[in-house]
């Protein structure tokens, strides 16, 4: 399910450096429809406790943190674990996300709505499992970095036999194309922030007809800015530090009032757009596995494997532009009711046969 082939090598390099985290969901559905939900995140401490990672906190979760030493490689590695467990009663709402501690970030954090439905029929009980990881809509929100890179750079993906001078020249052009794309992306963050502010505060005197001009001013400024810094462009501190400069450009071109409240509000909106972007970028090297236990006999599923449990696995890159849906249906047949119904049916058939074979009375 790899969705990364549309992106250039430089972008993939940044994407795959951004994080390395394992997410494991263990979900047990009980016969009464209640659910035992266990989530485990594992990785190095920097990834696990990154502010962009959404972890379960507070009620109803029972939390556990521990460390293990991985000796599978030549050099032992310390793996940090964060585990959360919770029991949900039949019909109780199941978590759709772990993040969203604040209203600002509730809609941009990683979503994974889970629906489990118990259908109680006379002869059977059906269990329907639906677990979704909605698309992060990367191309819709940010476009494709490859569109900003010269065609001649594509040879970098096709061969390793270029001489050093040619390779260096093409890589420099590719990097510049990526910086232009990033400048366009963050410029759009500012315009989107303004539009959202205007929607929420229609009395604010802002000339929307100048947005196209302002967007170009922002883009040109950020192209120069990104070309002048030494930090990795996927570093969250890079984006976090540019809001003041962007706000100054907005003030100069739109005549925004020197209002601290306006600055704070736009920055709050900006941070939500920034977080959404960085979280999606961070997913590039994360892995997701789901371990499901359903009562009864499994009737259907789109699982990757079925053994003592029903299992799925996918990479974070798979949801950059696609929604992943995990589904399964199981059934418990009520044998005693089937047995009773069978006995009743046999008795009815016997009585009907006797009635049909009974000789008819004739008139004397």
Average pLDDT value for residue range 268-284? 88
Q: Is the dihedral of CA 123, 90, 98, 277 positive or negative?
A: positive
Whether 202 shows a pLDDT value over 90: the answer reads no
| Residues 132-156: tens digit of each pLDDT | 999 999 999 999 988 999 999 888 8
Is 254 a member of any domain? yes
Tell me, yes or no, whether 134 and 17 share the same domain: yes
Q: For residue 97, give the DSSP letter.
A: B
Long-range own/partner contacts, residues 324-327 (CB < 8 A, 24 or more apart): 324/1, 324/132, 324/133, 325/130, 325/131, 325/132, 325/133, 326/129, 326/130, 326/131, 326/132, 326/290, 326/292, 326/302, 327/128, 327/129, 327/130, 327/131, 327/300, 327/301, 327/302
| Residues 302-320: tens digit of each pLDDT | 999 999 999 999 999 999 9
Is 347 a member of any domain? no
Residue 99: pLDDT band with limits 50, 70, 90: low
Tell me, yes or no, whether 16 and 100 share the same domain: yes
What is the SS3 assignment for 6?
A: helix
As a whole-number percent, the residues of the chain with pLDDT over 70 amount to 88
Is 201 a member of any domain? yes
| Residues 34-57: tens digit of each pLDDT | 999 999 999 988 888 887 788 898
Alpha carbons 301 and 120: distance in angstroms, whole number:
20
Tell me, yes or no, whether 185 and 289 share the same domain: no
Higher pLDDT, 275 or 84: 84
Tell me, yes or no, whether 190 and 114 share the same domain: no
Angle at 111 between CA 144 and CA 127, to 5 degrees: 125
Alpha carbons 234 and 277: distance in angstroms, whole number:
10
Phi and psi (nearest 5°) for 94?
-95, 150
Q: Which helix (H) or strand (E) holds 88?
A: strand 77-88
Whether 2 shows a pLDDT value over 60: the answer reads no
Neighbours of 53 (CB within 10 A): 21
Is 351 a member of any domain? no
How far is C-alpha 187 from the chain's CA centre?
Answer: 24
Tell me, yes or no, whether 223 and 323 share the same domain: no
Is 204 a member of any domain? yes
Alpha carbons 222 and 215: distance in angstroms, whole number:
11
Is 343 a member of any domain? no
Tell me, yes or no, whether 53 and 145 share the same domain: no
Tell me, yes or no, whether 10 and 126 share the same domain: yes
The residue range of the domain holding 160 is 140-281
Whether 118 shows a pLDDT value over 80: the answer reads yes
Tell me, yes or no, whether 8 and 119 share the same domain: yes
Please give the pLDDT value at position 87: 97
Whether 13 shows a pLDDT value over 80: the answer reads no
Higher pLDDT, 356 or 293: 293
Tell me, yes or no, whether 107 and 129 share the same domain: yes
Whether 11 shows a pLDDT value over 60: the answer reads no
Tell me, yes or no, whether 216 and 267 share the same domain: yes
Is 36 a member of any domain? yes
Please give the pLDDT value at position 351: 79
Mean pLDDT over each residue of the chain, to the nearest integer:
85
Tell me, yes or no, whether 106 and 152 share the same domain: no
Whether 104 shows a pLDDT value over 60: the answer reads no
Please give the pLDDT value at position 106: 57
What is the 3 state secondary structure string of 107-168?
A: CCCCECCEEEEEEECCCEEEEEEEEEECCCCHHHHHCCHHHHCCHHHHHHHHCCCCCHHHHH
Please give the pLDDT value at position 328: 98
Phi and psi (nearest 5°) for 304?
-80, -25
Average pLDDT value for residue range 107-112? 85
Would you call 293 exposed, middle or buried from its count of C-beta atoms within 10 A (0-12, 13-18, 19+)?
Answer: middle
Tell me, yes or no, whether 146 and 241 share the same domain: yes
Domain count, the chain: 2
Is 188 a member of any domain? yes
Strand order in the sheet with 114-120: 114-120, 124-133, 324-333, 297-301
């Amino acid at each position: 399910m790899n969705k990364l082939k549309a992106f250039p090598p430089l972008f993939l390099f940044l994407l795959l450096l951004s994080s390395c985290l394992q997410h494991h969901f263990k979900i047990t559905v009980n016969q009464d429809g209640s659910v035992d939900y266990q989530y485990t995140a594992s990785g190095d401490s920097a990834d696990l406790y990154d502010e962009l990672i959404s972890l379960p906190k507070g009620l109803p979760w029972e939390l556990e943190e521990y460390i293990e030493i991985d000796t599978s490689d030549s050099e032992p590695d310390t793996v940090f674990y964060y585990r959360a467990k919770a029991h949900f009663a039949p019909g109780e709402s199941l978590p759709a996300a772990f993040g969203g501690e604040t209203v600002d970030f509730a809609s941009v954090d990683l979503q994974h709505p889970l629906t489990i439905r118990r259908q109680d029929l006379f002869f059977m009980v059906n269990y329907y499992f639906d677990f979704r990881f909605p698309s992060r809509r990367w191309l819709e929100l940010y476009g494709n970095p490859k569109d900003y890179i010269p065609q001649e750079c594509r040879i970098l993906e096709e061969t390793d036999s270029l001489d050093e001078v040619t390779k260096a020249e093409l890589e420099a052009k590719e990097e510049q194309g990526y910086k232009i794309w990033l400048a366009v992306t963050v410029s759009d963050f500012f315009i989107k922030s303004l539009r959202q502010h205007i929607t929420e505060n229609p009395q604010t005197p802002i000339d929307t007809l100048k947005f196209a001009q302002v967007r170009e001013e922002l883009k040109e400024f950020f192209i120069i800015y990104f070309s002048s810094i030494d930090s990795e462009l996927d570093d969250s501190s890079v984006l976090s530090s540019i809001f003041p400069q962007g706000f100054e450009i907005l003030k100069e071109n739109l005549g925004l009032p020197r209002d601290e409240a306006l600055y704070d509000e736009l920055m709050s909106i900006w941070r939500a757009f920034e977080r959404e972007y960085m979280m999606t970028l961070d997913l590039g090297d994360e892995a997701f596995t789901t371990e499901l236990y359903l009562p009864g006999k499994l009737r259907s599923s789109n699982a990757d494997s079925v053994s003592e449990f029903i299992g799925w696995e996918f990479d974070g890159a798979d949801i950059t532009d696609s929604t992943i849906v995990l589904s399964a249906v199981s059934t418990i047949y009520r044998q005693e009711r089937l047995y009773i119904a069978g006995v009743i049916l046999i008795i009815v058939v016997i009585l009907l046969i006797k009635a049909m074979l009974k000789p008819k009375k004739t008139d004397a």
